[in-house]
Amino acid sequence: MTAILLGIAITVAQITLGLALACAAFRFVRGPRAQDRILGLDAFYVNAMLLLLTFGIQTSRTVYFEAALVISLLGFVGTVALAKFLMRGEVIE
């Protein structure tokens, strides 16, 4: 009984996180300016990492945790590099 309830809760959480991914992807695709796109990308990788953690709970494997850790490490570097590029690129123009 509790296993079925937990399965339903995990599936609902995955659907909710998928909707959040769609919202972030909307801002990423339709952002009026470059900083909006970078903000959408930042929210996108955080939501994708949370979705990977729920897959890890669902299948009870630890592989997904390592993938989530790598995403959270590299996403930070990517966002900071893009923000730096926004400042320097404007100087060259």
Partner 1 sequence: MIQAPDLPAWAALIVAILLLSGSTMTLVGSLGLIRLKTFYERVHAPTLGATVGVGSIVLASMVCFTALESRFVLHEILILAFLTLTTPVTLISLARAALYRDRTARDDEVPREHPMD
Amino acid letter, 43: A
DSSP 8-state symbol, 25:
H
- Residue 72 is a binding residue for partner 1 (CB under 8 A): yes
Determine the Cα–Cα distance for residues 31 and 21; give it in Å rounded to an integer: 15
Residues between 15 and 44 with contacts to partner 1, criterion CB under 8 A: 16-17, 19-21, 23-24, 26-27, 33, 35-36, 38-40, 42-43
DSSP 8-state symbol, 31:
-
DSSP 8-state symbol, 37:
H
- Residue in the structure block whose two tokens are 């923000």: 83
- Residue 74 is a binding residue for partner 1 (CB under 8 A): no
Q: By the criterion CB under 8 A, which residues form the site for partner 1? A: 2-14, 16-17, 19-21, 23-24, 26-27, 33, 35-36, 38-40, 42-43, 46-47, 49-50, 53-54, 56-60, 62, 65, 68-69, 72-73, 76, 79-80, 83-84, 86-87, 90
